[in-house]
Amino acid sequence: MKIGLLLPSTNTVAETEYWEMLPWGVTAHAGRMLVTQTEVGTDRDYLYLNDQMFTALEPTLANLLTCRPDHLALAMSAMSFVGGAVADPALRQRLEESSGVPVTSGPSACLAAVRAVGASRIGLLSPFQPAVEAETARWFTEHDIEVVSTFSFLAQTTLGIAAIGPDDVRAALVALDDEQVEAFVQVGTNVRMAGLVAGAEWWLGKPVIHVNTAMVWDILRAHDVTQAIGGFDVLLEEH
């Protein structure tokens, strides 16, 4: 099975994490949407970045479809979450109609993962500025998932998101923890976190959903790839 991975050209994490998690016989093939702006230090910067990605999306998709992927993955959290509950399904439907293959996004996969672990109250971790963080929380709230706590790294550049380290992630999860939180959800596909989740679930005693692992899990189950994949999160381990 071939996964077509649509991601911003500044993203240096998602592609490598997919390759680490995918079982034998499943491959990921990247289409990189040209992003010339790396600054995301303000809400306005993020909105401009979204405009760049939307402009680059269709041409990049046309190139990516030449490898005949079986599934598309939209590895750009900020763009996918903006617009609330109606925006992401509309975007996926448009891309499915134009490509002829199923599409998974960060919002759709994270929501499915939250429901799969039986959580209704979450702690939300992101690298975003306040406006996009609020749009992300809105997505879950509009799907009857209560966002109990939020933490953002407030990254100043897209490349800086990839530089967020394991100690930073660990401290953020501790800050998010609350007795009401039933699961943690991390969004932002350029945050390197896949290798940290299994350990975090052990010492937190709660599910930890990383957007990239959730997307891989969601895509594999859509194609009846059921083998367990150890070393990541509870969803892939019990897959």
**Residues 119-168 pLDDT 10s:** 999 999 999 888 889 999 999 999 999 999 999 999 898 889 999 999 99
pLDDT per residue as tens digits for the range 56-92? 899 999 999 999 999 999 998 777 888 888 889 999 9
- Which of 34-43, 61-70, 71-80, 186-195 is the least confident region? 34-43
Contact predicate 51/82, CB 8 Å = no
Q: Indicate if the pLDDT at residue 236 is higher than 90.
A: no
Contact predicate 5/31, CB 8 Å = yes
pLDDT-derived band at 239 (thresholds 50, 70, 90) equals low
The average confidence (pLDDT) of the chain is 92
Q: Based on the structure, what is the number of domains in the chain?
A: 2
Same domain flag for 131 and 204: yes
Contact predicate 216/26, CB 8 Å = no
What separation, in Å, do the N-terminal and C-terminal C-alpha atoms of the chain show? 17
Same domain flag for 218 and 138: no
**What's the confidence (pLDDT) of residue 105?**
96
| 122 belongs to a structural domain | yes
Q: How far apart are CA 98 and CA 102, in angstroms?
A: 10
Same domain flag for 128 and 203: yes
Report the largest interatomic distance among the alpha carbons of the chain, rounded to a whole angstrom. 49
Same domain flag for 119 and 99: no
Three-class SS state of 225: coil
CATH assignment of the domain containing 181 = 3.40.50.12500
Same domain flag for 69 and 7: yes
| 218 belongs to a structural domain | yes
Q: Indicate if the pLDDT at residue 35 is higher than 90.
A: no
What is the side-by-side strand order in the sheet with 146-152?
146-152, 121-126, 183-186, 208-210
Q: Taking Cα atoms as reference points, which of 21, 20, 15, 5 lies closest to residue 69?
A: 5
| 236 belongs to a structural domain | no
Q: How far apart are CA 119 and CA 207, in angstroms?
A: 9
| 81 belongs to a structural domain | yes
Q: How far apart are CA 28 and CA 25, in angstroms?
A: 10
Q: What's the mean pLDDT in 178-198?
A: 95
Same domain flag for 198 and 149: yes
CB neighbour class for 146 (10 Å; exposed up to 12, middle 13-18, buried from 19): middle
Same domain flag for 102 and 218: yes
| 234 belongs to a structural domain | no
Structural domain boundaries, residue 176: 108-211
Contact predicate 183/119, CB 8 Å = yes
| 92 belongs to a structural domain | yes
Same domain flag for 160 and 206: yes
> What does residue 122 show for φ and ψ, rounded to 5 degrees?
-130, 160
| 237 belongs to a structural domain | no
Same domain flag for 192 and 222: no
151, containing H or E segment: strand 146-152
Q: How far apart are CA 124 and CA 80, in angstroms?
A: 16
Same domain flag for 175 and 148: yes
| 175 belongs to a structural domain | yes
**What's the confidence (pLDDT) of residue 104?**
97
Same domain flag for 88 and 125: no
Same domain flag for 101 and 13: yes
Tell me the pTM: 0.94
**What's the confidence (pLDDT) of residue 148?**
97
